[in-house]
Amino acid sequence: MEGPRVEVAPFRTIADFLTDATFTSPAVSESGRWYNRVKQNLLYYQTNYFVIFLLIVVFYSAVSMTRYLTGMFIMTLILGALTFRTQYGLLPAGGIGLLAGLMGHTPAVMYTVCSIFIPILLSFIHASLRTRNIKNKVNSAVETLRVVPTPMAHILECLEGNSNYFKKLALLDKSK
């Protein structure tokens, strides 16, 4: 049985990604437009964001491999306990977290959490502030005709399908 096909988006140049870019703060009052900007930038620069994510994770793991692996192990235990909840509910996950804290592993967990959330936060900030130029808009229009979706398209589709928040943003923007 074969899963859905995925095509990797092209890597955008550093000039296009950073140096030739225009950055402006988004109009927070127009949440639909802001959401559209973020979504289009996430789709357009997804390979660049993935490379940044990998570089930051590799940097964090290289600086302190033991701390990183310890934090990753404890997070895996906690997420596993949350996933396979028993009749005890959240007690196993809370117990693992408390035990890790008592054993002095809280800094390792926070270190690993930061290694994951910092690149996500940087990607969101870039996608929010980066204004799209004509070249980006034309390339995005051409890429929407693509038959095989990209990984970010699948992720955004899952997020949009499972959240009414994105639908409400779109409705708010249409009502203005």
Per-residue pLDDT tens over the stretch 31-81: 888 888 888 888 889 899 999 999 999 999 999 999 999 989 888 887 777
Query: Apex CA 23: angle with CA 17 and CA 29, to 5°?
Result: 130
Query: Which CA distances in Å does 7 have to 11, 46, 145, 163?
Result: 12, 12, 13, 25
Query: Which CA distances in Å does 41 have to 19, 84, 124, 174?
Result: 16, 36, 9, 21
145, HSE (Cβ side, Cα atoms, 13 Å): 4
pLDDT at 167: 53
Helix or strand holding residue 128 (H, E)? helix 106-129
Q: Model's pTM, two decimal places?
A: 0.73
pLDDT at 30: 86
* Residue whose pair of structure tokens reads 């396979």 in the numeric block: 84
Ranges of the chain whose pLDDT falls below 50: 1, 165, 169
pLDDT at 39: 86
Enumerate long-range contacts of 23-30, CB under 8 Å, 24 or more apart. 23/129, 23/130, 23/131, 24/129, 24/131, 25/129, 26/128, 26/129, 30/173, 30/176
